[in-house]
Structure 1
Amino acid sequence: MRPISHLAQRMLGLPPPLTRDVVVQRDLRVPMADGTTLLADRWAPRSGGERLPLVLVRSPYGRRGPIGVQLGRVPAERGFQVLIQSVRGTHGSGGDFDPIRQERDDGLTTLDWVVKQPWCGESVVLAGASYLGYVQWAVADRLPPQVKAMIPNMTDSALTLEFLRSDGLSLETPFIWGVTNAVDEPAGVLRGLAQMRRRQRALDTLPLDRADVAATGQRVPYIQDILAHDADAERWTGIDHRHRVPATTVPVSSIGGWYDIFLPGQIRDFQALQEAGREARLTIGPWTHANLDNTPTRELLTFGLALAQGREPPRRPPVRLYVTGEEAWADFASWPPRGYWPRRFHLQPGGALSTGAPPVSAPDRYRYDPADPTPAVGGVRASGGGRKDNAKLEARPDVLTYTTPVLDQDVEVVGEVGAQIWFRSSRPFADVFVRLCDVDERGRSVNVCDGLVSVSGADRVSRATVRLWPTAHRFRRGHRIRVQVSSGSFPRFARNPGTGESHATAVELRPADQEVYHDPARPSAVVLPVHGAH
């Protein structure tokens, strides 16, 4: 296994380990309160592994292969022992996998079992990304004293609930995740690509509650749940752990990405920790959910290991952000950072954008056809997200753009971004999608952040308030700021059929004629937190 150790070291950009002589105990049996047995693998140095600080990872994605190397071998070579457990109903663990519902009870039982093992020392660190981070929040208010730190990455304490907003159903991510975890199919690159293409095509299926069958040949309960029940439904009782966050008693280091699906929730959790006076830090890089560098591993080996050994971790300000556009890291004391003030950039006639009030003008118009939905390009995606050239998207007739003159100085935007769009549709049900872009000297438009809101009563002129993803971005002198307005971003968000019918059962797709207003009485604007603007 030494070649794998060297390969992992190179790929993660890590210094040489303390040892490469690591052993694995496979299929340790962890009994749950109801008699179900969950399986776990323990990684440790061959010599001196017992009583080392322990990293606990609970995962639905297996314990072997690349997961075992990165989450097990790498920390075990560098001062830890590691226990990777397969959650209920996955990869040999008993019971049925009912996503996100069992993690509170099973997590607490697992912790109680772990700290009683003879090889467990006096310190435990909880670590992992996405689902592996959510399971940490599920137990955060009842941690035994042996737990010294949490390092949740690309996650939040409510997880699925972000997808289920009644004002904008996020479709692609929960659908792809649900069908991927529902079917245990043979691995392999070519087969995996074919599966992904089939699942993406399935999103075109109508009604949507048949898309899981189109993708997998069977019903997927998780998919049916997200289509049938919004965030307030009783079906989701018990999966929301937001109230546990302020009660967390150990230091927490959260790592997120500007194009990650869970970023707003992750920032909310960090703010809750800060408001409760807890020791917390937040790092946000230029990453998507599926494209993260070695930052979590380095944080485990510095922040996590120091606390596990009773030492102070390296000191740094609580918030560390990668500022896109400047392509550099910057440190701050809080989120949102101080010194950034809301500035309104108003949509203007003729596709202009400026801080001045708009003049009397007629609305701009476009037609949205859900049978040919405005596509998602880059941004917050399950795959293929991040920063992309928006030229083809902006050339579509169902996308409006508004652009400032060339900037004569840098404009730094850090914090929460919003938009207020005065809007009317020919249908009573419509969506408003707003995207912020940076246009460089060559005219290349690259997305910065975006968001969508669903509007009922849209056939009357009303102000649609859109929450865009948070950002830290510097618009360089010589660039321009651009705002896109459209009515969809498919399949990231479910397309609006225009009928008011449930997303699950709608089969009729009705085109809509949309109007965007920009006049003194209806001043549509994007609101940017700009440095020094007060």
Structure 2
Amino acid sequence: MVEILREGPAPTSPLAFEERVRMRDGVRLATDVYLPTGPEGESEPGDTVLIRLPYDKSGAYTFIPLIAEYLMARGYRVVAQDVRGKFRSEGDAMLFVNEARDGYDTIEWITQQAWSNGRVAMWGDSYYGYTQWAAAATQHPALKAIAPRVTGTRLGEPVVVRPGDRTRPVEWAITYLYPLTWFHSQDVFHWDLDPERRPFSAQAEEAMAQLGTRSLSYDQWYPRAVHLPRFPSASPFDARPVPTLHTIGWWDNCAPLAWADVAEIQSRPAWALHHFLRIESMDHESYYLDDPDVDRVEERTEEQLRAQLPRMLDPALEFFEVFVRDRGSHADIPRVSWNLAGTPGMCAAESWPPSDVESCDLFAAADGALAAQRPDDAQTVEWVHDPAAPVPSSAENAFAFLLERPDESALSTRPDVLAFETAPMAAHVDLVGPVTAAARVEADGPVMDVFLRLLDVAPDGTALRIARGQVQVLRAEEGAAVDVDLGQVGYRLREGHRLRLQVAGSDSPEYLVQPGTGEEPWGAVELRAHRQRLVVGGRDGLRITVSVAAGAEGVIAR
């Protein structure tokens, strides 16, 4: 029997009144309305911030009442809505597929209320960042600006398997667990997989049997994924552009999805013109690199939550002043605002990456060195991937990496982890821009996962992860040349520190472990250890390319 904790909706905030907003198909969505009051206790028509989320509009996890209070103090009406099928809202809990239509219908309802002046903005993180992209795709004229944070338009979908692929992304373990917990039905059901008991799919079936109902979203994705349309057309960026303040965290585990959106936006001139990028030294749950230890706690007090509201909301409020209230000029908003992690304040640029960065290639050697000089001779290094004893994920909660800010140095001592390291930096080096890697790999098993982690190693030996990437190799016995995207970075590597590149074949439980048999991991029963190999030196040897601020290449590549 699976231990399941059920959590229902919290009481409606006393600052709000709840409405039941009817969608075009008759389903009613529970909607809290927060109205700022004037001297006589009545609210005149004004601008509205809409927040559509699946995590309980009144619950402690997202502290929406505190956010609404902060926004009301700036004169905004706030509408917070449980998405279809969640908590107090009617309908089926179906991940992603109804958010475009329901977003449009909710905006339309707002414009018809006496307290609305017809101008709407949207704000929110993760899934309630996704609901903004979905609403923008419907082109409702009242939607004047959006401020999505730590999210992506392709959030959450299983990896697509296409015939002929040699490589593909590695599947998150949360992919199939999320629709069984947060999106099983109206309430949330907290339970954990037992990593020692396979198949995982059997545990999913046991949980649904215990609850007495199936998860529609799980059945949509497993065992055969059905990708239902999310947007009115293939891409949300086919729609008329909406001014967007797009926030990404350097340590957000969902950042690859956001950067994929940035790349598409940059290829579409109309959207690029309306796109403003903000990059902060935070993770998915809004823990920051420079948080004091007293604030690095899982359950934050109301005082701590209130203290973080300005950094969460002020950038969006400044953006809304220009694009919703028409006060000031778009030139007042930096096209790209970003934090160089390890330094205070924000930097500004006209584009990302900034125009003055340079690329620096570093090559791995069989002796564990990482340097600018490519070794002449190709050698093969190998390790054993044992799915019964995988390389552990460094953080217990991948979404709150900076809550733990783990020291990853111990992973480098494992026999199934390769480590390559530079000499100490002779001066500060600012890493700014994309990080990529290329290598040739092979394995005795049919499928091989390759995980790369770039670490900042301090003089005392502690190691902080600053970039990472992973790729899955099919028909791995044949060997394959792979390119790995480790994402984007903005980080000050200090004098005396080193860069370390870790290579491994697993990262569990954040990612599903390859069983070694070729079976898909969620339903696999048998586990089989096998050897995995990597080429270092020569033409096909492991190479990592980092982007550095102008003039720093000579320091890092010495």
Same fold (TM over 0.5): yes
Relative to structure 1, the CA distance from residue 427 to residue 327 in structure 2 (aligned partners, 3 Å threshold; closer, same or farther) is farther
Q: Deviations over 1:71-128 (max 9, x none)?
A: 3222112210111111111122111111111111111111122111222113211111
Question: Aligned residue for 1:13?
Answer: none
Task: Tell which deviates more after alignment, 168-177 or 361-370.
Answer: 168-177
Kindly provide the amino acid, as one letter, of the partner of residue 427 in structure 1: G
Matched residue SS, 1:160: coil
How far did residue 39 of structure 1 move?
1.7
Matched residue SS, 2:117: coil
Question: Aligned residue for 1:345?
Answer: 362
Q: Does residue 289 in structure 1 map to residue 284 in structure 2?
A: yes
Q: Does residue 63 in structure 1 map to residue 57 in structure 2?
A: yes
Question: Aligned residue for 2:260?
Answer: 268
Distance in 1, matches of 2:495 and 2:264, equals 36
How far did residue 380 of structure 1 move?
8.6
How far did residue 246 of structure 1 move?
5.5
1:50 to 31, 37, 44: 44
Question: Aligned residue for 2:303?
Answer: none
Kindly provide the amino acid, as one letter, of the partner of residue 325 in structure 2: Q
Question: Aligned residue for 2:230?
Answer: 238
Matched residue SS, 1:522: coil
Distance in 1, matches of 2:472 and 2:263, equals 27
Task: Tell which deviates more after alignment, 74-83 or 172-181.
Answer: 172-181
1:156 to 152, 156, 179: 152
Distance in 1, matches of 2:391 and 2:128, equals 33
Question: Aligned residue for 1:5?
Answer: none
Question: Aligned residue for 1:15?
Answer: none
Contact 2:515 2:524 in 1 (8 A): yes
2:453 to 435, 449, 452: 435
Kindly provide the amino acid, as one letter, of the partner of residue 403 in structure 1: E
Relative to structure 1, the CA distance from residue 270 to residue 432 in structure 2 (aligned partners, 3 Å threshold; closer, same or farther) is closer
Question: Aligned residue for 1:130?
Answer: 126
Kindly provide the amino acid, as one letter, of the partner of residue 391 in structure 2: T
Question: Aligned residue for 1:14?
Answer: none
1:417 to 435, 453, 463: 435
Matched residue SS, 1:490: coil
Question: Aligned residue for 1:28?
Answer: 19
Distance in 2, matches of 1:267 and 1:246, equals 18
How far did residue 469 of structure 1 move?
2.5
Question: Aligned residue for 2:175?
Answer: 174
Contact 2:409 2:461 in 1 (8 A): no
2:274 to 273, 279, 282: 279
Distance in 1, matches of 2:23 and 2:131, equals 16
Kindly provide the amino acid, as one letter, of the partner of residue 507 in structure 2: S
Q: Does residue 90 in structure 1 map to residue 91 in structure 2?
A: no
How far did residue 489 of structure 1 move?
0.8
Question: Aligned residue for 2:326?
Answer: 310
Distance in 1, matches of 2:236 and 2:313, equals 25
Contact 2:45 2:115 in 1 (8 A): yes
Task: Tell which deviates more after alignment, 348-357 or 172-181.
Answer: 172-181
Question: Aligned residue for 1:489?
Answer: 507
How far did residue 509 of structure 1 move?
1.0
Distance in 2, matches of 1:322 and 1:462, equals 37
How far did residue 213 of structure 1 move?
4.2
How far did residue 143 of structure 1 move?
3.2
% same residue: 27
Relative to structure 1, the CA distance from residue 442 to residue 227 in structure 2 (aligned partners, 3 Å threshold; closer, same or farther) is farther
2:75 to 76, 79, 87: 79
Relative to structure 1, the CA distance from residue 261 to residue 501 in structure 2 (aligned partners, 3 Å threshold; closer, same or farther) is same
Distance in 2, matches of 1:168 and 1:282, equals 25
Contact 2:390 2:508 in 1 (8 A): yes
Relative to structure 1, the CA distance from residue 466 to residue 447 in structure 2 (aligned partners, 3 Å threshold; closer, same or farther) is same
Question: Aligned residue for 1:147?
Answer: 143
1:473 to 491, 494, 499: 491
Distance in 2, matches of 1:404 and 1:156, equals 34
Distance in 2, matches of 1:132 and 1:63, equals 11
Kindly provide the amino acid, as one letter, of the partner of residue 269 in structure 1: D
Q: Does residue 523 in structure 1 map to residue 528 in structure 2?
A: no
What is the RMSD computed on CA atoms of the aligned residues?
Answer: 2.8
Distance in 2, matches of 1:284 and 1:329, equals 9
Distance in 2, matches of 1:337 and 1:419, equals 20
Task: Tell which deviates more after alignment, 211-220 or 46-55.
Answer: 211-220
Contact 2:92 2:185 in 1 (8 A): no
Kindly provide the amino acid, as one letter, of the partner of residue 112 in structure 2: K
Matched residue SS, 1:401: strand
Question: Aligned residue for 1:249?
Answer: 241
How far did residue 371 of structure 1 move?
0.6
How far did residue 132 of structure 1 move?
0.9
Relative to structure 1, the CA distance from residue 270 to residue 454 in structure 2 (aligned partners, 3 Å threshold; closer, same or farther) is closer
How far did residue 210 of structure 1 move?
2.2
Q: Deviations over 1:348-403 (max 9, x none)?
A: 12110001111325322211100111111139913445742112211211111000
Distance in 2, matches of 1:327 and 1:179, equals 40
Distance in 1, matches of 2:478 and 2:265, equals 41
1:332 to 323, 345, 349: 349
Distance in 2, matches of 1:330 and 1:176, equals 38
Relative to structure 1, the CA distance from residue 385 to residue 226 in structure 2 (aligned partners, 3 Å threshold; closer, same or farther) is farther
Kindly provide the amino acid, as one letter, of the partner of residue 145 in structure 2: A
Contact 2:46 2:116 in 1 (8 A): yes
Contact 1:270 1:281 in 2 (8 A): no
User: Which segments of 5 or more consecutive residues in structure 1 lack a partner in the other structure?
Assistant: 1-21
Matched residue SS, 2:130: helix
User: Which segments of 5 or more consecutive residues in structure 2 lack a partner in the other structure?
Assistant: 1-12, 162-166, 288-307
Contact 1:157 1:240 in 2 (8 A): no
Q: Deviations over 1:184-240 (max 9, x none)?
A: 7999xxxx9xx4xx51x43544112123345664554434544534xxx54343369
Distance in 2, matches of 1:438 and 1:446, equals 5
1:222 to 217, 225, 229: 217
Relative to structure 1, the CA distance from residue 417 to residue 248 in structure 2 (aligned partners, 3 Å threshold; closer, same or farther) is farther
Contact 2:430 2:490 in 1 (8 A): yes
Contact 1:417 1:528 in 2 (8 A): yes
Q: Deviations over 1:28-77 (max 9, x none)?
A: 12111111111211101233423121111111122224433233222112
Question: Aligned residue for 2:377?
Answer: 360
Matched residue SS, 1:359: coil
Distance in 1, matches of 2:112 and 2:28, equals 17
Distance in 1, matches of 2:396 and 2:438, equals 20
Distance in 2, matches of 1:361 and 1:471, equals 29
Relative to structure 1, the CA distance from residue 147 to residue 345 in structure 2 (aligned partners, 3 Å threshold; closer, same or farther) is same
Distance in 2, matches of 1:173 and 1:164, equals 16
Question: Aligned residue for 1:300?
Answer: 316
Matched residue SS, 2:259: helix
Q: Deviations over 1:465-516 (max 9, x none)?
A: 2121321122222111110011011111110112111223211111111222
Relative to structure 1, the CA distance from residue 273 to residue 184 in structure 2 (aligned partners, 3 Å threshold; closer, same or farther) is closer
Distance in 1, matches of 2:490 and 2:233, equals 27
How far did residue 327 of structure 1 move?
5.3
2:408 to 353, 365, 390: 390
How far did residue 412 of structure 1 move?
2.1
1:115 to 111, 114, 119: 111
Kindly provide the amino acid, as one letter, of the partner of residue 96 in structure 2: I
Matched residue SS, 2:531: strand
Contact 2:107 2:142 in 1 (8 A): no
Contact 1:23 1:44 in 2 (8 A): no
